[in-house]
Structure 1
Amino acid sequence: MMSETALRDLNTLPSSDRKNESSSKGSFAKPFVGSANENVDVSLVSTHVNGNQTGNAGPGIANSEVEYIDSENLIDVEDIDTSLKTLIAGLDSKDWVVVCEALNNVRRLSIFHKEAMLDILGDVIPLVVKSLKNPRSAVCKTAIMTAADIFSAYNDRMIDLLDPLLVQLLLKSSQDKRFVCEAAEKALVAMTTWVSPILLLPKLQPYLKNRNPRIRAKASMCFSRSVPRLGVEGIKEYGIDKLIQVASSQLSDQLPESREAARTLLLELQSVYEKSHDSAPATVSDSPEMDSWENFCQSKLSPLSAQAVLRVTNIAREGLVIGS
């Protein structure tokens, strides 16, 4: 069950980021200054903020810049025990610089010492979610990248903690700020890559009916990517009839992303259905017509839905015949 807070979040797109914020403590401001490609060093933020003053800003004023470091370029923490002990306080800090540093430490620990952080993962993820909600772009994007590394490291072990992360990533991937949106989409790809589809699909399904069409579209794309990972036997076990009903409901959705995801899923289901029937031993009572994809669609869907599904799959089939 989704919490009331999660549902409220889902039905409201995030407001635009504040470009400049003043520190809630101390005598100096810490404006976020990003480069054109939003690629400035987050590991150097504290040095820029606390060490180097700008020429005309006056005493105590600093320019801070943030780089978003790819996972493969992160280096190990210097001291595991110290990093673990200070992690929760850092993530919960009111200083956005400290939060970014702590998020990067979560990433490093996930990559290099995932077993060491496993015991506190239940405390870490809610604070990562808090950072995902942060209006400051630097914090939000770093948290998104952190979520991707958590998926990669912990796979199915974090499935019980997934819901609040999923809500925020669907929201962030649906907003207008391009570099945040792109990062969130990559995190969703990581989720569908590293979390077992048998566990993930039930988590995604409620979002396919969300009131926000952009949320539905992103959820549809995740759903469509996850199903093939079940494999032929897994799809049959999950239920082709259930999956075809999900896909057919997205064919008439408002956004083209939803419709394209539905078409991709339907072609996958058609392929699995036909392969499974081609390989099944024939019986006396079997007839090609009764086992056909067309008959299956008509038996599982309303006439209009079956017609729409068959139109999609027949066009694809005709295209393959023409191209061969």
Structure 2
Amino acid sequence: MSAKALRDLNTFPGSEKKTEGSSKGCFMKPFTENETENIDKWQKCIPTSVTCNASTAEVEIGNTGLEAAGSEIEYIESENLNDLQDVDTNLNTLLSRLDSKDWVSVCEALNHVRQLSIFHKETMVPMLGNVVSLTVKSLKNPRSAVCKTAIMTSADIFKVYKDGIIDSFEPLLMQLLLKSSQDKRFVCEAAEKALTTMTISISPTLLLPKLQPHLKHRNPRIRAKASMCVCRSVLALGSEGIKAYGIDKLIQVAASQLSDQLPESREAARILTLELQSVYEKSYLPLIQTTESENLKSESWESFCQAKLSPLSAQAILRVTASAREENLILGC
């Protein structure tokens, strides 16, 4: 991977800031987070004899109707999680708790998934598909605490199981792309972090085919997040991996995103284009220029792009690489 591509990749949008509250103890703490965007909707739906405290956004179903909960979930970083004391009991009840109607129980179960994954990886393998499906269900939950805990659970599943989740992976990917594209900042940032973990943990050759359909999604924000993931995943391939995967395939992916609506997509495509050019010129041109085989002929980067792309797409790609050359000349690189 070129040093310039690495530098450019670090400028991608998204925050890696630590989430609030890191404790090794209980998952619950006094409610402090202000999440009031849905209070009006709740108040319209509840009976007149039941009241909802507008200072709290977490509401749960009780025996007498809707009650404002007095606590929230504490978001604990992976490195601060402790092992479970009663592994067998938690494992045996895990799926039923993940599917519970009690949001506090669901969040606790999601954190137990994280602990079991980290400290007892093999015990969860037989039920991993069901765990992933129920984690996807929690990602769809409108309650922010459940959604964010599910996002953090997804990241830990990526770290631990890596390629082992690829068969049940697609619904999880779709939800993380959706959450990273929404306006609620702390959920969006957590989802972006999980997507970055995904591109680090899962083999690019398995991940890229799953990502590429999302580059054509009708939502430009989702296309942008997918473009960034594709770029990171291709960079993770390295020179030999890029050649094995096929520069001709990847240059078409880059070209399709250079004219996309959002700047994040275009920037990801630009970084990808420059990396592909670097790999091509370092790997193929010396071989072509020194071979005596009649089947190979000297082919410049420009000729390669024109042969593999439509005229408009080739023009867009070459404009990016020509501009980069000019910048390097100006900077004396």
Q: Structure 2 length as normaliser, TM-score? A: 0.80
8 A contact 1:155–1:195 mirrored in 2: yes
Aligned to 1:300: 308
Unaligned runs of 5+ in 1: 1-15, 32-61
Partner SS, residue 71 of structure 2: coil
1:159 is displaced (CA, Å) by 0.4
- Which amino acid letter does the alignment assign opposite residue 83 of structure 1? N
8 A contact 2:58–2:72 mirrored in 1: no
1:63 is displaced (CA, Å) by 1.3
1:258 and 2:265 aligned: yes
Aligned equivalent of 1:161, options 165, 168, 171:
168
Give aligned pairs, total. 279
Aligned to 2:282: 275
Q: Measure, in 2, the Cα distance between the counterparts of 1:30 and 1:290.
A: 74
1:117 and 2:124 aligned: yes
Aligned to 2:232: 225
Aligned to 1:54: none
Aligned to 2:104: 97
Aligned equivalent of 1:18, options 27, 38, 47:
38
Q: Measure, in 2, the Cα distance between the counterparts of 1:307 and 1:272.
A: 19
Q: Structure 1 length as normaliser, TM-score? A: 0.82
Partner SS, residue 97 of structure 1: helix
- Which amino acid letter does the alignment assign opposite residue 329 of structure 2? V
Residue by residue over 1:199-226, the C-alpha shift from the partner in whole angstroms, topping out at 9 and shown as x without a partner, is 0000000000111111100000000000
Q: Measure, in 1, the Cα distance between the counterparts of 2:242 and 2:303.
A: 19
Aligned to 1:39: none
8 A contact 1:21–1:29 mirrored in 2: no
1:303 is displaced (CA, Å) by 1.3
Aligned to 1:37: none
Residue by residue over 1:167-193, the C-alpha shift from the partner in whole angstroms, topping out at 9 and shown as x without a partner, is 100000000000000000000001100
Residue by residue over 1:114-141, the C-alpha shift from the partner in whole angstroms, topping out at 9 and shown as x without a partner, is 1111111011111000000000000000
Unaligned runs of 5+ in 2: 1-35, 40-56
1:183 and 2:190 aligned: yes
Aligned identity (percent) is 69
8 A contact 2:166–2:206 mirrored in 1: yes
Q: 1:221 to 1:17 in 2, by over 3 A?
A: farther
Q: 1:178 to 1:128 in 2, by over 3 A?
A: same
8 A contact 1:224–1:264 mirrored in 2: yes
1:105 is displaced (CA, Å) by 0.3
Aligned to 2:200: 193
Q: Measure, in 2, the Cα distance between the counterparts of 1:30 and 1:73.
A: 31
Aligned to 2:330: 322
Q: How large is the RMSD of aligned CA atoms in angstroms?
A: 2.0
Q: Measure, in 2, the Cα distance between the counterparts of 1:289 and 1:260.
A: 32
Residue by residue over 1:229-279, the C-alpha shift from the partner in whole angstroms, topping out at 9 and shown as x without a partner, is 112121112110111011001000000000000001001100110111244
8 A contact 1:93–1:99 mirrored in 2: yes
Q: Measure, in 2, the Cα distance between the counterparts of 1:173 and 1:112.
A: 28
Partner SS, residue 23 of structure 1: strand
8 A contact 2:72–2:145 mirrored in 1: no
Partner SS, residue 316 of structure 1: helix
**Structure (1 or 2) with the greater strand fraction:** 2
1:21 is displaced (CA, Å) by 5.2
- Which amino acid letter does the alignment assign opposite residue 18 of structure 1? N
8 A contact 1:298–1:306 mirrored in 2: yes
8 A contact 2:204–2:237 mirrored in 1: yes
8 A contact 1:201–1:223 mirrored in 2: yes
1:280 is displaced (CA, Å) by 1.9
8 A contact 2:280–2:301 mirrored in 1: yes
